[in-house]
Structures are given as C-alpha cells and as structure tokens.
Amino acid sequence: MTYEALLRLVEQVKGTSHLAESSMFRSKVDFIENERIKQSLVVRLQREQGQYSVALLNIMDVAQRINRNAQLRTESDANRANWEIAGGVLIAVFLVMVIGLYFRRAVATPLEVLTHNIGKVAISGDGDGRFIDDKLLLRRDEIGDLAKQFAQSFEALATARRELQEASRAEISLQRDRLHGAIENMPQGLYMLDRDGRIIVANRRLQELYNLGTDIDLLGMSVDAFIGLCREKGAGVKRTLSNQIISDVNAHGGYQTSQRLTELDDGRVVTVTVMRLPDGGYVVTHEDITERKRSEEQITHLAHYDALTDLPNRALFHERLKEELVNVPLGQRLALHYIDIDEFKGVNDSLGHLIGDELLKSVAASLSACVGKAGFVARLGGDEFAVVQTAIRNREDVEQLIEDILTAIRAPRDCLGHQLTADASIGVAMIPEHGTNLDQIMKNADLAMYAAKAAGRRTWRFFEPEMDAQVKARHQLEVDLRQAILDDQLEVYYQPFLSLQDDRIVGCEALVRWKHPTRGNVSPAEFIPIAEDTGLIHQLGERVLHVACTEAATWPDDIRLAVNVSPVQFKSGTLALKVANTLATSGLSPHRLELEITEAVLIRDDDALDTLHQLRALGVRIALDDFGTGYSSLSYLQRIPFDKIKIDRCFVKDITESEGSAAIVQAVVNIAAIRKMSTTAEGVETEAQRQALKRLGCSEMQGYLFSPPRPAAEVRALFAAHRADGRTASSFGRGPRSDAA
C-alpha cells in the first residue's frame, strides 16, 4: 500500500467520523481528543513511511554498488555477481513484503475495520458503541485509543438519543392530554371527519347537546348516521344540515369556513360551523346560542320599543314615519298627531311613579285600540305620544280620530286601585299640506300641540303657519330677556294696598316691569311664563327680592312689602336660605316681608310645605294669592298657617251686581276671619266696589282706584303726601290704567 493510499484511508476515517457526528443529532461529546489521536496516527504513518523509503534507498544503493563492482570484475566473476544481485533483489523484495504485511496488519487493516464499524453506526443511526470490534478496543496503541474514544462517543450519543426520545414522548403525551381536555370541556359540541366523511373525533358536549347519552360511540359514523341518530333522540335536527354546510364550504374552495343557524323542535337555536382541513376532512362545531339569540332579540326590541308601554319608541317612530313619507301614494294624505297627557306630573307627584306608569300603560293600550288599522301609535317619551294616521279621505276623518282619541283618554280607568281620569292636548300636522320633510312635519305637529296647551289644554289644534312665527317671536323674547337680566333693564314697581277700615297705606306689592328698547313695555304675562319655563325666574326672582327689600327698608316701619314667589322658585329647595340672606343684607325686618304664593305651589308637593314652615320660622308672613281661581282647597287653609288670603280680581269685578260674586267673597272673608287671617281684594277700580268690600268685612284693598304700580321714587312721595294730607282712598283720582300685576 502506497503512502497516498494510506493518507486517503485516514481521510476516509476522518470523513466517516464527521458523518457519525452529523447522524447523532449534534452530540455534545467532545471529539477534540479523537482529533489528537488521529493526528498522532498520521505522524506515525509518515514516520514509518520514511523508514520504509530509507530502506528502499539503501537497497537500491547496494544494488548500484554491486553493479559498479561487477563491471570492474572479470567476466569470470560475472555469473557470481549476477547471483549476488539476484539474491540482493530477492532479499529487498522480501523485506518490502514483510514491511508491507506488517504495516497492513498493524495499521491499515485495523483502520479499515474501524472505518467500517463507524460507517455501520452512521447508517444505523442508533449511536450504539457495540458496533466497534472488541479487538480494536483491546489494542494499546493509538488505533486502540481511537476506537475507545469512538465507542465512548457513540455510547454518549446513544444515551442522549434515548433521553431525547423519552422527553419527546412525555411532551407529546402531555400535549395530547391537554388537547383532549380542551376538546372535552369546550362549550361547543365538536366532531372531526376524515376525508371519507367518517367521525374520527367527538367530544362529550356534542352528545349532551343532542341528548345522545355517553354510552353511544360516535366514532366511525357518517354524517348522515349522526344526524339520523339525533333525529331519533328527538333533537329535530334537519337531516341535510351538515351536508348542506359541507357543500357550501366545497363550493367556496380552499380551506373555507361556513356557518348556518338551525332551530330545533324544542325551540333551541344551534349554530353549526364547518371548517375544511388540508387533508380533505372537516372540523364541525355545534353551539347552542338560544340565550344569546334571545338576548340579541331583546336588545333589538328594546332599541326600538318603549320598555313601559311596548309601543314603538322615538327611534322606530322616525323610521316608520320616514317610510310612510317616502311611500305615500300620489294624492293620498297623512296626519301626524302629537298627544300630551295633561297634568300627568301631578299624578306622579301625588300618587307616585308606579301609579303614573300604570296610567301611561293604560293610555297606550287605549290609543292602540282606538287607532287600530288606521295608523300606528308610538310613545315619544314621558307623557307624549304620537299617532300617524294613514288612508285619510278628508279633514273630517282626522277630526273624527281626534275625538275618538280624546274620548278614549278621558275614559275612567283603574290604576292599581286608584280611579283616575286623564285628558290631553293634541296638535295635528297634515301631510303634505304642512310639510313632507320629517323634521319639518314633526316640528309643526309639536307647535300645534303647544298651541293647544296654550289655549287652556284639553283641546286640539291643527298647525297654522302663524304658530311658527309665534314660536320664533317667543324665542327672540327669551333671548332679549336673558340680555335684559344681564343688563339690569328690568325695574321694580310698587302698588300700594290700603286698609278698608281707616284707609291707611299698610303695604305695597313689588311688581317687575320691563321696558324693551325696541318693543316698549312688555307685559309680565308675556315674559314671566318664559322666565319660568327657561329657569330665568331664579335670577329674576332673586333680583326683585333684593331690590324690593332694600327699598322697603327705607319705608315707614308700619308699611309691609309683598313679593310674589314663583312655584319654580319653591322647587329649588333653597328659597328659605335666599330669603334669610336677603333680609340680612337689606336690613328689612322679617315681619315686614310678605311672600305671596299661588295654589300651584301646594298642589301635590309636600316639599313645599317644608319650605313654607322654614319661611314661617324666619318670621316672614305668607299670603295665598289668587285664591279661588285654580284648585282651591279648604284643606290648604287647615294645614298651612297663612297670614292672608288675596281675593282675585275676577270675584271683585262683578261684586256689585245682583247675580255677582258677593256671596263667594263673603264666604272667603268669613273663613279667613275664623282662621285669624286678613283678606286683600285685588283689582278694585270703582268706589262702589270699595264700599261693597268694606260692607262684606274685607280687610284690605288694592287696585287702580287708589294707585297703579309706581316706581320707587313715586311711591315714596305717595307715602309722604298721603300721611301729610290725611286723604282717604276715595279722594284719590284713578291713574291711567296699565297692566295689572
């Protein structure tokens, strides 16, 4: 064997060792020592090859010398020399053969065996060191060391392989258990189909969902067999459901997902989802979404229907009215009725919201029955309803429905044991006469309803173009009033009231007046309701109270100040505190302040009683204004300690006539006397009225007969002149008539 062949053999051993390393999955065994042994073996081979080369050179040198000597010898010695040369050659060949045999036995053959063993290990992939020949392991030279290192390396690789396989099997088992647990405990029923449509996986929830029981093995079933089994158990699943969904998925192509809803015979709703797998199978899930579906339907219903009356709410009403406006046939007419239940707040305040809700439900049912197929009803919120009337032939049809609605609302009804009656104000806008735009028609119906309320309630009005102008004018007046309050444009006037016994001025009522920069004098009857509706009455009332108390503090001590208080101010809950603060800052004695309230303050409002008692505790006098014009109740006089009753001008106007209201005034005076209250008659304009009131026993009078409302400076002058001259009421001429308080 040549030197180059030996080197190739060593390189083969090295390459084979690298192959073994690669096949043992990146072993962590250190091959540095193996490399050292291989390098030592190469050095030894190179050394022995050198020795072998030297021996050959020596043999060749001997042969050359023998050849030279032979040339010098005689021809007789030629035969002997030839024999010597032949013998030397034979000896050299023998030595080469011996050395080659030794080298092959000692080095080449073991390396070939070792290389063969390593190749077997690499091919098998087992990493088992038993493939190494025991004879190689018993050698004490470098080849034996190399074999031992390979054996140890392969054993370590085998151990690592076994550990890795065991860890992999444990991890795979853990993941399989987790997957099984997830599938068995998922809220959806699940089964998996192979490419032939057979069930290969099914969970417990699937069997529970269709009441199949746990003793039935679903594995291997076809979809048809599964659906048939569900139908046998009474689940009522459509036989073609799953096949239809699979067909849907196939129709889409690729790995699509398809979903369908199905309703079972027992009313449950199930969603079936099918997903196609890469191998041609399917994963199918069944989920009971009955409660979710019901919740969604309930949410949808609540979004479009009123929770109390179950009528369409404002949102659905808008949608349906839009549809009607779009689809109304040419030449046909519609009518939009806006309905407001009158005095509904009083029911809530007096009987509670539970009774109020029952009243609304009863009214809603009456409206639905009344309208029937002639249109539809909706609740817009609070105590407001709307009716869209369709298929109108003429205006009389609209008026007839209005009368029917009012009759239905006014019918007595039992609300949790309370016998109640109701009434309504109705505004009507016609389509297309009064508009075809949704916002416009609703606005016009609303304007008509407020016109009905302004006309005294319990009636109805059709929309008229003037109503829009009135609303705009009212809005402008509101804007101007806000600015007037900021600019302090409003003035306080004072109208005296006199004692009918001795004609003394015993007090003055503070009245607010507004001289508009462009409109001139604006009646309190115009701007006070606006102030109450917008809340401006709080600022206005506080301002009047402060100015009047400050002015009255300069008057003689025997002259009282009367100030009107709005029901809106009473509801703030801070009226008593504001009055106390005003009295403290103005210096006016509390017993000189008289607050006038109307019956509206007391109706169904127990909190007002608390406020009245707080005011009385301050020492302030309380007068009941406009008695007899509203919901007058003698129980008020029994429960509330009033200091005065003011008799409205409507009873004074005809007091001198034979069929007049003298008897009523007499009754009021008698009641007040029994309750130790004084009485003041308003609107006295003639001497005959004054004399009649005096005969009936009325305490005081107020009106143009003595004086109209005057500015502060004029009323102070009036005090002085009246006291200085000692003139009586009859000696004063009536001033020019102006707006009453």
Domain CATH code at residue 335: 3.30.70.270
Asked if pLDDT for residue 27 goes beyond 50, the answer is no
Asked if pLDDT for residue 673 goes beyond 50, the answer is yes
Structure confidence at residue 179 (pLDDT): 84
User: What's the rounded Cα separation, in Å, for the pair 85 and 307?
Assistant: 132
Long-range contacts of residues 452-457, Cβ cutoff 8 Å, at least 24 apart: 452/425, 452/426, 452/427, 453/340, 453/342, 453/425, 457/342, 457/343, 457/423, 457/425
> Per-residue pLDDT tens for 96-122?
565 656 555 555 666 666 666 666 555
User: What's the rounded Cα separation, in Å, for the pair 730 and 706?
Assistant: 8
Strands laid side by side in the 269-276 sheet: 199-202, 189-193, 282-288, 269-276, 257-263
Of 206-215, 545-554, 633-642, 664-673, the poorest mean pLDDT is in 633-642
* Contact status, residue 603 vs residue 561, Cβ threshold 8 Å: no
> Per-residue pLDDT tens for 338-349?
999 998 988 887
Listing DSSP states for 297-357 in one string gives: HHHHHHHHB-TTT-SB-HHHHHHHHHHHHHHPPTT-EEEEEEEEETTHHHHHHHH-HHHHH
Asked if the structure places residue 604 within a domain, the reply is yes
Q: What is the CATH number of the domain that holds 568?
A: 3.20.20.450
Closest CA to 156 of 263, 30, 12, 322: 30
**Do 370 and 452 belong together in one domain?**
yes
User: What percent of the chain is predicted at pLDDT more than 90?
Assistant: 41
**Do 452 and 536 belong together in one domain?**
no
Q: What is the 3-state secondary structure (H, E, C) of 534-591?
A: HCCHHHHHHHHHHHHHHHHCCCCCCCEEEEECCHHHHHCCCHHHHHHHHHHHHCCCHH
Asked if pLDDT for residue 22 goes beyond 50, the answer is no
Asked if pLDDT for residue 460 goes beyond 80, the answer is yes
Of 20-29, 238-247, 611-620, the poorest mean pLDDT is in 20-29
**Do 372 and 265 belong together in one domain?**
no
Please report, as a single letter, which amino acid is at residue 251.
A
Cα 572-576-582 angle, rounded to 5 deg: 110
Asked if the structure places residue 173 within a domain, the reply is no
> Per-residue pLDDT tens for 238-282?
666 666 766 766 665 555 677 777 777 777 888 888 888 887 788
User: What's the rounded Cα separation, in Å, for the pair 716 and 554?
Assistant: 9
User: Range of 535's domain?
Assistant: 474-724
Long-range contacts of residues 485-489, Cβ cutoff 8 Å, at least 24 apart: 485/536, 485/539, 485/540, 485/543, 488/543, 489/514, 489/515, 489/516, 489/517
Asked if the structure places residue 641 within a domain, the reply is yes
Structure confidence at residue 80 (pLDDT): 62
**Do 535 and 684 belong together in one domain?**
yes
Structure confidence at residue 26 (pLDDT): 42
Position with higher pLDDT, 31 vs 183: 183
**Do 255 and 341 belong together in one domain?**
no
**Do 157 and 196 belong together in one domain?**
no
735: how many CB neighbours lie within 10 A of its CB? 13
User: What's the rounded Cα separation, in Å, for the pair 286 and 270?
Assistant: 6
Structure tokens belonging to residue 134: 């025991």
The per-type count for the chain, helices as H runs and strands as E runs, is: 26, 21
Structure confidence at residue 111 (pLDDT): 62
Structure confidence at residue 151 (pLDDT): 76
Asked if the structure places residue 729 within a domain, the reply is no
* Contact status, residue 448 vs residue 467, Cβ threshold 8 Å: yes
Residue 456, CB-side half-sphere exposure with 13 Å CA sphere: 2
User: What's the rounded Cα separation, in Å, for the pair 204 and 504?
Assistant: 100
* Contact status, residue 445 vs residue 337, Cβ threshold 8 Å: yes
Structure tokens belonging to residue 734: 């009536």
Identify any residues that bridge with 337 across adjacent strands, giving them in sequence order.
Answer: 387, 428
Structure tokens belonging to residue 626: 């406009």
Please tell me whether residue 66 adopts helix, strand or coil conformation.
helix
Q: Label residue 709 left, alpha or beta by phi (over 0 means left) and psi (-120 to 50 means alpha).
A: beta
**Do 259 and 363 belong together in one domain?**
no
Which residue among 435, 463, 491 closes a domain?
463
**Do 705 and 578 belong together in one domain?**
yes
**Cα dihedral sign for 672, 676, 682, 684?**
positive
* Contact status, residue 146 vs residue 37, Cβ threshold 8 Å: yes
Closest CA to 622 of 666, 570, 683, 669: 570
**Do 537 and 578 belong together in one domain?**
yes
Closest CA to 646 of 592, 684, 688, 687: 684
User: What's the rounded Cα separation, in Å, for the pair 469 and 256?
Assistant: 64
Looking at mean pLDDT, say which of 64-68, 87-91, 144-148, 452-456 comes out highest.
452-456
Q: What is the CATH number of the domain that holds 272?
A: 3.30.450.20
Listing DSSP states for 442-501 in one string gives: HHHHHHHHHHHHHTTSSSEEE--HHHHHHHHHHHHHHHHHHHHHHHT-EEEEEEEEEETT
Structure tokens belonging to residue 236: 């009522």
Computed over its alpha carbons, how large is the radius of gyration of the chain?
58
Of 430-444, 480-494, 718-732, the poorest mean pLDDT is in 718-732
Buried-exposed string 451-467: b where 16+ CB fall within 10 A, e elsewhere: bbbeeeebbbbbbeeeb
Position with higher pLDDT, 32 vs 376: 376
> Per-residue pLDDT tens for 394-418?
899 999 999 999 999 999 999 999 8
* Contact status, residue 519 vs residue 483, Cβ threshold 8 Å: no
**Do 418 and 566 belong together in one domain?**
no
Which residue among 241, 275, 294 closes a domain?
294
**Do 640 and 715 belong together in one domain?**
yes
Structure tokens belonging to residue 704: 């143009």
Structure confidence at residue 560 (pLDDT): 97
User: What's the rounded Cα separation, in Å, for the pair 710 and 494?
Assistant: 5
**Do 17 and 144 belong together in one domain?**
yes
Of 106-115, 527-536, 597-606, the poorest mean pLDDT is in 106-115
Asked if the structure places residue 299 within a domain, the reply is no
Tokens 């009226």, residue located: 575
Asked if pLDDT for residue 710 goes beyond 90, the answer is yes
Closest CA to 13 of 156, 99, 113: 113
Asked if the structure places residue 572 within a domain, the reply is yes
Specify the length of the chain in residues.
Answer: 741
Asked if the structure places residue 175 within a domain, the reply is no
* Contact status, residue 352 vs residue 398, Cβ threshold 8 Å: no
Asked if the structure places residue 167 within a domain, the reply is no
User: What's the rounded Cα separation, in Å, for the pair 30 and 416?
Assistant: 96
Asked if residue 711 has a cis previous peptide bond (ω within 30° of 0), the answer is no
726: how many CB neighbours lie within 10 A of its CB? 9
Domain count, the chain: 4
Identify any residues that bridge with 658 across adjacent strands, giving them in sequence order.
Answer: none
1 contacts: CB under 8 Å, gap ≥ 6: 100, 103, 104, 108
* Contact status, residue 702 vs residue 497, Cβ threshold 8 Å: yes
Which residue among 463, 485, 503 closes a domain?
463
Asked if pLDDT for residue 735 goes beyond 50, the answer is no
Provide mean pLDDT across the span 635-661: 84
